[in-house]
Structure 1
């Protein structure tokens, strides 16, 4: 797999104002209980997808859901998409367990997430 390929969108993060209420709604929607259930993050894994709930938009300050593209090398992908016209927003950083994430903004102002690991 080259740095230019992706494994598709497998993670979507949603900012929420009431974590307990959102957790109940997403558990009902997805038909599963969360695999990660903490005061700062609730995550569901279902059908090869990860759905995350971030109270108050989390440290990223998200105001809308963000799709995260899974890539083999997040730093190479940031370099590739910024060379093509995107703007780096959040540099690649480890969020635990060896998982690296970054965000970029496309030319129309859409926030794109990238994740490795």
Structure 2
């Protein structure tokens, strides 16, 4: 088994990006370091907190950072996890994927 680098990214689905941006800026005490109509991101204490409008996820998704996304997906699916979204490049060579645990909770993986 390979270890992870921990949860460093949490993406929150939002319905009103401007209102959510104001609340998270107040909560975190920082302005966004990424601000677009499809994603607003904050860097806070080594974590990336993202706001995603029009997301299909019903709740926030935590993303575990890993060195080898394919190997980690193989490990978690071998013991009962189910692939949701296969690894795909979201820019700059960063790969993301999601899977569900046996209870249907969505978990994410990121490989830089």
| 1:37-116 to 2 correspondences below 5 Å | 37-57=35-55, 61-116=56-111
Where structure 2 has 5 or more consecutive residues not aligned to the other structure, the ranges are: none
1:14-43 deviations in whole A, cap 9, x for unaligned?
000000000000000000000000000000
Q: Distance in 2 between matches of 1:108 and 1:17?
A: 25
- Matched residues, number: 112
SS at structure 1 position matched to 2:21? helix
Q: Distance in 2 between matches of 1:104 and 1:93?
A: 13
TM normalised by structure 2 equals 0.97
CA shift, 1:110, in A, is 0.8
Which of these residues, 2, 5, 23, is aligned with residue 4 of structure 1? 2
Please provide the CA RMSD for this pair.
0.8
Runs of 4 or more, structure 1, over 6 Å off, are none
CA shift, 1:108, in A, is 1.1
TM normalised by structure 1 equals 0.93
